[in-house]
A and B are shown apart, each in its own frame.
Chain A
Amino acid sequence: MNLKDFSGSAARLITGSAFLIAGIEKVLVSHDILIWILKGLGLPTFAAFPAAWIFPFCQIFFGLFLICGLYTRVCVLFFSATVALEEIILLQAWLRMVPVAELDFYGIFLSHSIIWQIFQNVMLILILYPAFFYGSRYTLDNLIKSTLTENKK
């Protein structure tokens, strides 16, 4: 395994796990709470409601696909777009100086550390880069392809 393959696979695992866990947390928390968190960020009701229902499941499915290496590039593009969108939402919340809710398995906290969250997202986008370019080795996609090639032989 060369360094590029290693970085690609590691990036896939790290980002995939992060999104999978984030999605599971959002599904396990009440939708009312999630809508409240999204509204707190400044999202209008018409956007917060569907986002609270659809987005967590997208995170779970695409996160798992990314870990397994299924539709890798599609997943990376999806996550890059959503993280970029989140950055915009966080930036406007930071400019308006509103506290945002942080959600993890230990609880939901109102936090003013938006800069930290923005930084985390920048790191995620950076990690997604090797996942996109070098994350195609050791994937389920490759495994499926190899079974077909063997059949061909």
Chain B
Amino acid sequence: MKKSAIKTVSSGKSVKTDKTGTAADSTDSADIRQRRIYNARRLTAAVLLAAAVSATVLIMKLKHCGPVMPVPEYRTAGAAAGQTESPLSEIYEYTDFACPACAAANVQLQNMMNTYGSRIKLHFKHFPLSMHKWSGIAALYADCAGEQGRFFQYGEMLFRNQEEWADKDSEPEEFRIYADRLGLDRKQMESCVRKTENQTRIKLEKAEGQAKGITATPSFFINGKFHLGAGALASESMRIEQIIQAEKSRGARK
């Protein structure tokens, strides 16, 4: 029979050992080793999971996924809620009132809306570029015109007369003149422009655009897909036309 003795280890615990004092020690150190391996493996698993989810989120960000700030009702056009025909296209337009390419795109978009208006849901988003001094203020005035129900008309005036106001040194008087031409309430307009929440909304909309990867205007999200420039509008018109024709021919056969 083996004799056992009590040995005090460094941790202060008393452990039974045999005559040579090795058996219990080795079990103890094996346990510590096992614990270390367990912790290391847990940590490795955690790092791997964190890396995998970070990569996934990064890809989602690159693909412009994520929440969208709601657009005020006056900045939406086209398909109305509850209409019988379902909208075929949902377009988010990020634009700058002082950008010439945006003015050209606006004409194209208007033609598209005139033809297929009831089948398109359009959301207008501000993206005032920092190189255009007055586009942020123009966006603000347009929103305030929108609060009086004339957003798209005011926007069209801004686009059409870009060269009159875009390069002015001081705040263009044109913003007020256009409001008068549309018969908007000047007092209401002025107080609306001064409201911080309206200014913040435009700032946040630009931040949202930047988070979605927008660097230039006009940019579009057509049915969730990102397009830079108005080129995609023509192909989207053709796609809508094809669907409408197909619907018509199906209806005729019935």
* Pairwise interchain contact B211-A30, C-beta atoms closer than 8 A: yes
Contact of A148 among B38, B65, B66, B207 (CB under 8 A): B38
A77-85, A102-110, A120-128: which lies at the interface: A102-110
**8 A Cβ contacts from B159-208 to A:** 200, 203-204, 207-208
Among residues of B, the one whose C-beta sits closest to the C-beta of A25 is B67
In the assembled complex, how far is the CB of residue A26 from the closest CB belonging to chain B, in whole angstroms?
9
* Pairwise interchain contact A105-B38, C-beta atoms closer than 8 A: no
* Pairwise interchain contact B61-A65, C-beta atoms closer than 8 A: no
Among residues of B, the one whose C-beta sits closest to the C-beta of A32 is B207
What chain A residues lie within 8 Å of B49 (beta carbons)? 61, 64-65, 68, 70
Q: Say whether chain B's binding surface is mostly helix, strand, loop, or mixed.
A: helix
* Pairwise interchain contact B208-A30, C-beta atoms closer than 8 A: yes
B68 at the A interface (CB under 8 A): yes
In the assembled complex, how far is the CB of residue B44 from the closest CB belonging to chain A, in whole angstroms?
9
B41 at the A interface (CB under 8 A): yes
Contact of A65 among B46, B57, B210 (CB under 8 A): B46
B252 at the A interface (CB under 8 A): no
Given contacts A28-B61, A65-B49, contact A145 B204 (CB under 8 A): no
* Pairwise interchain contact B68-A107, C-beta atoms closer than 8 A: yes
Contact of A105 among B54, B66, B203, B210 (CB under 8 A): B66
What chain B residues lie within 8 Å of A57 (beta carbons)? 54
Once bound together, how far apart are the Cα atoms of A70 and B45, in whole Å?
A: 8
**8 A Cβ contacts from B17-59 to A:** 34, 37-38, 41-42, 45-46, 49-50, 53-54, 57
Given contacts A28-B66, A30-B207, A105-B67, contact A148 B37 (CB under 8 A): yes
Given contacts A33-B208, A107-B68, contact A145 B57 (CB under 8 A): no
What chain A residues lie within 8 Å of B34 (beta carbons)? 148, 152
Number of A residues near B (Cβ < 8 Å) is 33
Given contacts A30-B211, A36-B200, contact A106 B38 (CB under 8 A): no
Once bound together, how far apart are the Cα atoms of A20 and B60, in whole Å?
A: 14
Once bound together, how far apart are the Cα atoms of A25 and B211, in whole Å?
A: 12
In the assembled complex, how far is the CB of residue B64 from the closest CB belonging to chain A, in whole angstroms?
9
A144 at the B interface (CB under 8 A): yes
Contact of A108 among B45, B54, B57, B70 (CB under 8 A): B70
B9 at the A interface (CB under 8 A): no
**8 A Cβ contacts from B193-230 to A:** 200, 203-204, 207-208, 210-211
Given contacts A108-B70, A148-B34, A148-B38, contact A28 B65 (CB under 8 A): yes
* Pairwise interchain contact A24-B67, C-beta atoms closer than 8 A: no
Given contacts A68-B49, A70-B49, A109-B70, contact A24 B57 (CB under 8 A): yes
Once bound together, how far apart are the Cα atoms of A65 and B52, in whole Å?
A: 12
Given contacts A107-B70, A144-B41, contact A28 B204 (CB under 8 A): no
Please, could you name 11 A-B residue pairs with CB atoms under 8 Å apart, sorted by A?
A: A24-B57, A25-B66, A28-B57, A28-B66, A30-B204, A31-B207, A32-B207, A33-B207, A36-B204, A70-B45, A108-B69
- Ranked nearest first, the 10 interchain pairs of A and B with the lowest CB-CB distance are A28-B66, A30-B211, A32-B207, A30-B207, A144-B41, A61-B50, A29-B67, A107-B68, A30-B208, A108-B69
Residue numbers of A with Cβ under 8 A of B are 20, 24-25, 27-33, 36, 57, 60-61, 64-65, 68, 70-71, 103-109, 140-141, 144-145, 147-148, 152
